Amino acid sequence: MGIFDNTRVFNGRCVGISNEGAGVVRIEEKGAKEDGMKIFITDMLPGEKGKVRITERKNNMTYGEKAGQIAPSKSRVKPVCPEFPKCGGCQLLHARYESQLQMKESMVRNCLVRMGRFPEEEIRACMERILPASDQYYYRNQIQYPVEYSREKRCVNIGLYERSSHKIVEHEKCFLADPAAEIVRKVSQLFFSDFANIEAAKALRQVVVRTGLMSKEMMVIFVISKQVTIDAEAFVATCNDALKEAKNGMRLISIWTEERPEGIKWKNPKGVWTNIWGETTIREFLANRVFRISPDSFFQVNSKQAVVLYDKVKEYLRYDGFLPRVLLDLYCGTGSIGIYCSDACHHLIGIESVESAVIDARNNARSNFIEDTEFIFGKAEEYDFGGMMPDAVVIDPPRKGCDEKLIQRLLELGPTRIVYVSCNPATLARDLQRFFQLQQEKGVKYGIKKICPVDMFPGTTHVETVVLLSKSNM
């Protein structure tokens, strides 16, 4: 880590936004060695200019801060949330929504050009305009609230983390979460601050709330460090009374605990799941499909935009009048993409590494009266596809992207088209670059036909991208 002389001040112009929401600022000092240097500065928007200083260099990245008055961009607005400067849940609430969309489009395009090394004119030619969200606020159907127990006050604080810290921000309400989840958070804070529940409070690490925005069903997951007794009946009664008073139609129907002992790595941990009250799943509706969701199953966090996203996937599967005979859905989760797109193929095969999600997927296929489906428990990158011959493949990997081994297997399968759904433009660019490098060795050729960003997460820098790869005749 390098510390710079922070008494030196430079003229800077913000030219973009980083994945973390910091302004990408270019120093404009002719003749100085720093001229043209890019630094990351919090709370600067593209187009803004002013005095800045460099503060540190870490992991080959240079960071700075504002050193005086900044000429504000026309895109800048007053954030609706008073905690925005501190809270790490949002990054772009200080920008007009139209500007957020432009920034996300640029982010996807820049990643593909600079990291993926694709010609910019080719990317611009096949890239569609970003699909906006109908709701900018209160859209999240899942939220994780960290819990902090105070031994001095003998109570808990439940909220969201400050930026780049593990300190909890006290807030009145989150403008991205479903308001019903915020009701559960407030009930949880009072409930676990009661002396009768103090032992459970000491073990509590997170309160996770999952909401069926369309079904009005809710699930709460208490992440605990050890087995404790929780009076679920009393908690449910208090929550449902508060939800009834809010007149939002929501009701809590499921409570789980996930035990993660102290010392376990919290990145992708494997906890012990226990259903301590009510149903084991909740339902959510996407258009004319119904989905059951288990506590540890992946499901898109924005239900309304999931329909927009999946409609685009279906459009790409049907591009040029194509109708796949066999559709392979990798990282399929609860089967939501494949089942939603089942009328765009004859036979559906899904592969997923979370066993409860596979069970959900099979049940979801039955609930939607969809035949000719198979859902297989296993890791996509390790699965033996054998003689499988899919016409089309949908890939929706986690943020880390695809394993190179899977990319090689896809090229061996040689489907007519591949639809890649990405939640991370950087790993998307990397994977596509790998794909096109490896295809020369495999003797097949694909081209990028279409690219469409979808705004699933207004107020944040996160963006989904759908890419259509089409096989060419060599």
The helix/strand/coil state of 128 is: coil
Helix (H) or strand (E) holding 181: helix 179-193
CA distance 269 to 274: 15
The helix/strand/coil state of 239 is: helix
Given CA atoms 388, 393, 397, 401 in this order, what sign does their dihedral have? positive
Q: Look at the chain and count its residues.
A: 474
Residue 327: strand pairing partners: 348, 392
Helix (H) or strand (E) holding 272: strand 272-278
CA distance 405 to 384: 12
CA distance 192 to 449: 53
DSSP conformational letter for 127: B
Catalytic residues: 423
Compute how many other C-beta atoms are within 10 angstroms of the C-beta atom of residue 56: 15
The helix/strand/coil state of 421 is: strand
Instruction: Kindly state the tokens that stand for 216.
Output: 């009005």
Helix (H) or strand (E) holding 285: strand 282-286
Our CA angle for 329, 438, 347, nearest 5°, is 20
Listed in order, strand segments (DSSP E) in 299-352 are 326-330, 347-352
| Cα-to-chain-centroid distance, residue 364 | 22
Given CA atoms 261, 264, 267, 270 in this order, what sign does their dihedral have? negative
